[in-house]
């Protein structure tokens, strides 16, 4: 159960700053201990020093964000929301730079080359981003690129448990996002999506993960079974053809489109850190150089189907494109 907000502010946030100070003071000790322990491991598992460096960098940035949030809270001002977006952009850019240096992260993005007219039109309307769900690493990079590369202000519906991260808790709750409890009803999630989409302006981007969770073979089987139990034979058959994705849940995407009909829709495919879901996965499987490939394409608002059934088939069409693209990427690697 998530502690009350006042408790998180008075305990968790200061605790991060205290832990950060302790780690910085004792960093030489941890480096020596980690280096000694790594000598007893086979080369593929000698990741300790990289994890220590990244952990200290993350804690330092977390503490900087918390101190900046306190200053923004005291200062107030009319540009308070914009300054918080700038702070998020700064934080993610520093985390990304640390990941590039420490984990040799590389990212390639395939995107259509717009004409000048298309580029001007794209900056004049909001967007709805429909992305595959593939762990926190790929999701983090998606948000980073929306902010840093495309200068969009992302809005997201997230699990309430993410508020255990103090900086995320503080800054995201000050921006138009939504945290939903694990046992929140379907209606609650749809209402949050509707509210976020309906209040977007031209610089905003609503990010939705239609799968609802990370892909596993078991989740895939359960999702197909649910479709069959609901009598959705066509969707179940198309879901069987997806090798890397869960079948999309259409209600969230359709709700966003209905709430903001002027928004273009962007589909995002990505692969590279698919298997790194938990800290244990990161420790066991993180390569010495991480390479992520992403591709996105845009569907203008006037090309989005109008009828609900047509929108569901349209969503499955694009999901099949993402699945085929992931298959091609994995074949190219092997």
Does 219 fall in a domain?
no
pLDDT of residue 120: 66
Instruction: For residues 64-90, give the mean pLDDT.
Output: 89
Question: How far is C-alpha 18 from the chain's CA centre?
Answer: 28
In a domain, 234, yes or no: no
Nearest alpha carbon to residue 257 among 299, 226, 214, 301: 301
Give the integer Cα–Cα distance in Å for 127 and 201: 9
- Contact, 166 vs 13, CB < 8 A? yes
pTM of the model: 0.89
Q: How far is CA 228 from CA 210, 235, 236, in A?
A: 18, 8, 6
320 in a domain, yes or no?
yes
Q: How many residues does the chain have?
A: 334
Total number of domains in the chain: 1
Q: How confident is the model at residue 124 (pLDDT cuts 50, 70, 90)?
A: confident
Spatial contact of 134 and 274, defined as CB atoms under 8 Å apart: yes
217 assigned to some structural domain: no
In-domain check, residue 204: yes
- Residue 228 falls within a domain, yes or no? no
pLDDT at 285 over 60: no
What share of the chain has pLDDT > 70, as a percent? Answer: 89
Model pLDDT for residues 292-327, shown as the tens digit of each residue: 888 999 999 999 999 999 999 999 999 999 999 999
More confident position, 56 or 141:
56
Confidence of residue 111 (pLDDT cuts 50, 70, 90): confident
Structural domain boundaries enclosing 38: 5-110+119-210+248-333
Mean pLDDT for the chain overall: 87
Task: Give domain status of residue 268, yes or no.
Answer: yes
* Partners of 266 in the β-ladder: 129, 298
Angle of helix 13-25 relative to helix 27-38, nearest 10 degrees, comes to 70
Name residue 156's beta-bridge partners. 207
pLDDT band of 159, cuts 50, 70, 90: confident
Looking at residue 20, what is its pLDDT? 96
Interval 160-194: pLDDT, tens: 888 999 999 999 999 999 988 877 777 888 999 99
At 214 the three-state DSSP class reads coil
Give residue-wise pLDDT tens across range 226-274.
999 999 999 999 999 999 999 999 999 999 999 999 999 999 998 877 6
Report helix, strand or coil for 107. strand
Tell me the C-alpha distance between 156 and 193, whole Å.
8
User: What's the whole-number mean pLDDT along residues 27-49?
Assistant: 77
- Say whether pLDDT at 78 is over 70: no
Task: Confirm whether 294 is domain-assigned.
Answer: yes
Report the pLDDT value the prediction gives residue 281, as an integer from 0 to 100.
Answer: 60
Q: Per-residue DSSP letters for 117-177? A: HHHHHHTTS-EEEEE---HHHHHHHHHHHHHHTS--EEEEEEEGGGGGSHHHHHHHHTSS-
The full DSSP string for 249-309 is -HHHHHHHHHH-TT-EEEEEEEESSTT--SHHHHHHH--SS-EEEEEEEEE-GGGS-SSHH
Determine the pLDDT at residue 133.
85
Determine the pLDDT at residue 180: 86
228-233-234-236 Cα dihedral, nearest 10 degrees: 20
pLDDT at 4 over 80: yes
**202, 123 contact by CB (below 8 A):** yes
- Give the per-residue pLDDT at 107: 83
Any bridge partners for residue 131, and if so which?
268
Q: Exposed, middle or buried: residue 22 (CB in 10 Å: 0-12, 13-18, 19+)? A: exposed
**What is the distance between the alpha carbons of residues 122 and 330, in angstroms, rounded to a whole number?**
31
- What SS3 state is found at 106? strand
> φ, ψ for residue 136 (rounded to 5)?
-65, -30
- pLDDT reported for residue 209: 92
Per-residue confidence band for 58, with pLDDT thresholds at 50, 70 and 90: very high
């Amino acid at each position: 159960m998530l502690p009350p907000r006042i408790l998180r502010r008075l305990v968790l946030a200061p605790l991060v700053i205290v832990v950060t100070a302790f780690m910085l003071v004792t960093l030489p000790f941890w480096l020596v201990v980690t280096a000694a322990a790594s000598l007893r491991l086979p080369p593929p598992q000698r990741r300790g020093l990289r994890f220590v460096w990244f952990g200290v960098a993350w804690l330092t940035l977390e503490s900087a964000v918390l101190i900046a949030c306190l200053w923004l809270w005291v200062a107030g001002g009319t540009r308070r929301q914009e300054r918080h977006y700038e702070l998020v952009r700064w934080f993610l850019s520093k985390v990304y730079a640390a990941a590039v240096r420490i984990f040799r992260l590389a990212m390639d993005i395939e995107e259509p080359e717009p004409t000048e007219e298309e580029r001007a039109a794209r900056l004049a309307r909001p967007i709805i981003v429909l992305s595959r769900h593939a762990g926190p690493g790929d999701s983090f990079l998606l948000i980073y690129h929306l902010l840093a590369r495309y200068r969009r202000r992302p809005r997201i519906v997230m699990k309430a448990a993410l508020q255990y991260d103090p900086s995320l808790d503080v800054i995201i709750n000050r921006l138009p996002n939504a945290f939903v409890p694990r046992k929140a009803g379907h209606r609650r999630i749809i209402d949050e999506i509707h509210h976020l989409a309906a209040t977007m302006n031209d610089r905003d981007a609503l990010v939705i993960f239609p799968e609802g969770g990370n892909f596993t073979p078991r989740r895939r089987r359960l999702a197909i079974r649910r479709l069959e139990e609901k009598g959705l034979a066509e969707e179940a058959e198309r879901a069987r053809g997806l090798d890397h994705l869960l079948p999309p849940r259409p209600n969230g995407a359709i709700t966003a489109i209905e709430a903001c009909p002027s928004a273009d829709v962007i589909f995002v495919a990505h692969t590279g850190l698919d298997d790194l879901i938990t800290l244990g996965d990161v420790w066991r499987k993180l390569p010495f150089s991480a390479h992520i490939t992403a591709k996105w394409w845009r569907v203008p608002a006037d090309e989005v189907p109008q009828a609900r059934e047509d929108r569901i088939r349209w969503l499955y069409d694009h999901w099949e494109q993402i699945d085929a693209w992931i298959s091609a990427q994995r074949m190219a690697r092997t």
